[in-house]
Amino acid sequence: MGGGEFGLTIPTIEIPKIPVPELAAGGIVGRDQLVRVGEGGEKEMVAPLNKQTLAPFAEMIGNFMSGGNQGGNDSDYVMVRANKQDLTNLYRQLFTIKKSETIRGAI
């Protein structure tokens, strides 16, 4: 048999890019969507925003701001020392994130 060439043309397909939010700096997701976590090179927490998961954090912040106790032997959370300015800054950052997520349509 001869040493001829065989040609095949494969059409190219344009694959659209799907934007996937990266949440290394934090964020709030308010609907079913793909997100990227862990891309910041540090451990991240993903948890539902409901009374059950937020209660320990709310109690911790409330106790700290009122000068209350730091949790008992049955505590299921870790206390983090922060001054009122740190907590105010945290509140402002969370407010800014929520505002930008609302504008983006995630909430």
How confident is the model over 36-87, as pLDDT tens digits? 888 878 777 777 888 888 888 788 777 777 765 555 544 445 556 667 777 7
- Asked, for residue 76, whether it belongs to a domain, the answer is yes
Per-residue pLDDT, 75:
46
Q: Which residues contact 17 (CB under 8 A, 6 or more apart)?
A: none
Number of domains in the chain: 1
- Asked, for residue 9, whether it belongs to a domain, the answer is no
- Asked, for residue 61, whether it belongs to a domain, the answer is yes
If you average pLDDT over residues 80-106, what whole number do you get? 77
Give the domain extent around 88: 51-104
- Asked, for residue 74, whether it belongs to a domain, the answer is yes
- Asked, for residue 64, whether it belongs to a domain, the answer is yes
Percent of the chain topping pLDDT 90 = 0
- Asked, for residue 99, whether it belongs to a domain, the answer is yes
- Asked, for residue 24, whether it belongs to a domain, the answer is no
- Asked, for residue 46, whether it belongs to a domain, the answer is no
